[in-house]
A and B are shown apart, each in its own frame.
Chain A
């Protein structure tokens, strides 16, 4: 009998392993869920140093080119990517942002937004209300991550540099950059 890829086992041994493996799976799932909540809460807290330990989990593929999943297989709810908040103390860019904000007559209640804040304990409930999309367990594969320097050509293009440089100025040639290509061209990896 084939048992979870461990080769042929006697039927009696396999039957004995089933409850053990089920127990281990449930234990890991419970621990992992708790960890995920903890990580998300930590990331949501302002001023918390980033918690992105290098998590190197070696797989033992039968071949180094055996399975290269598409990045979509690592579906991760965008709300999980809280490392992208890049929250910082007020820096050089704040004056630009503030002035454009104040000049925006269509914004709601433009004068008071930055003056009225809420307590940190209310944050999680309010943030969850913003969008029903919440972090969840997905099929992911660490080994399928992007290889450093692959796709760097994009960063060197005039279009990208101009788009990035313009972000610090009110008037930029292009507010949007659109990278297009057929399926499998690598769009998601450069994204």
Chain B
């Protein structure tokens, strides 16, 4: 279970990582979850992105080290302000093309979402080779469009019958009791399940 984070689990992040291999490109990601709302603050979210970009550098930039040393002197180690994190993110994302992938932005608290989008907007604006991939429910569409500069492409996502059939066939091929399966039952499963999948 501790290796699961390295299991292929999301299409775009995996694809970006595959394509970035051998190139000097950074891929970072974060997902929001209602259940983790309190700990997923703008500072911790953008700090996690910064951690990923910095972790991919050969060495940590001196400015970050200096800030770390300075902040440690205060109240036993103070965390950075949001604007300081954004400033550092702008600096490190300017070093190389960087992809920032954020899942379920709609699950971020409304007040935090504004701050996060403004921060991402600043990074995009000041670091022209940064690309952002977002997913979320339709109701945040206009907010995303308003807050982020640099143009936005939108793609609606809905269950695709071909994907469902492909998934069913894959699961059937892994059936632990293949003896109990015959071609007619398999055909019935493949035909009926996609039909019963409701529009979501």
A residues at B contact (CB < 8 Å): 32, 35-36, 39, 43-44, 46-47, 51-53, 55, 58, 60-61, 64-65, 71-72, 74-94, 96-98, 100-101, 104, 106-110, 112-118, 120, 122-123, 125-127, 129-133, 135, 137, 140-142, 145-155, 157, 159-160, 162-164, 166-168, 170-191
Q: A86-B27, A88-B20, A133-B44 are in contact. List 7 more A-B contacts (CB 8 A).
A: A39-B3, A43-B55, A122-B65, A133-B47, A176-B148, A181-B156, A182-B138
The secondary-structure label for the interface of chain A is loop
Interface residues of B in 91-127 (CB under 8 A from A): 91-92, 94-97, 99, 101, 103-104, 124, 126-127
> A131 and B153 in contact (CB under 8 A), knowing A52-B6, A184-B200?
no
Question: B11 to A189, Cβ gap below 8 A?
Answer: yes
User: Does B73 touch A at the CB level, under 8 Å?
Assistant: no
Question: B8 to A145, Cβ gap below 8 A?
Answer: yes
Question: B31 to A101, Cβ gap below 8 A?
Answer: no
Q: How far is the CA of A146 from the CA of B90 in the complex (A)?
A: 32
Selected contact of B9 from candidates A127, A131, A145, CB within 8 Å: A145
1/0 per residue, CB under 8 A from A, across B78-97: the answer is: 01100001011011101111
Nearest B residue to A169 by beta-carbon distance? B129
1/0 per residue, CB under 8 A from A, across B11-29: the answer is: 1111111011111111111
User: Does B183 touch A at the CB level, under 8 Å?
Assistant: no
Question: A126 to B65, Cβ gap below 8 A?
Answer: yes
Question: B55 to A97, Cβ gap below 8 A?
Answer: no
Question: A140 to B176, Cβ gap below 8 A?
Answer: no
The contact sample of 5 A-B pairs, CB cut-off 8 A, is A96-B129, A97-B24, A116-B65, A148-B8, A180-B136
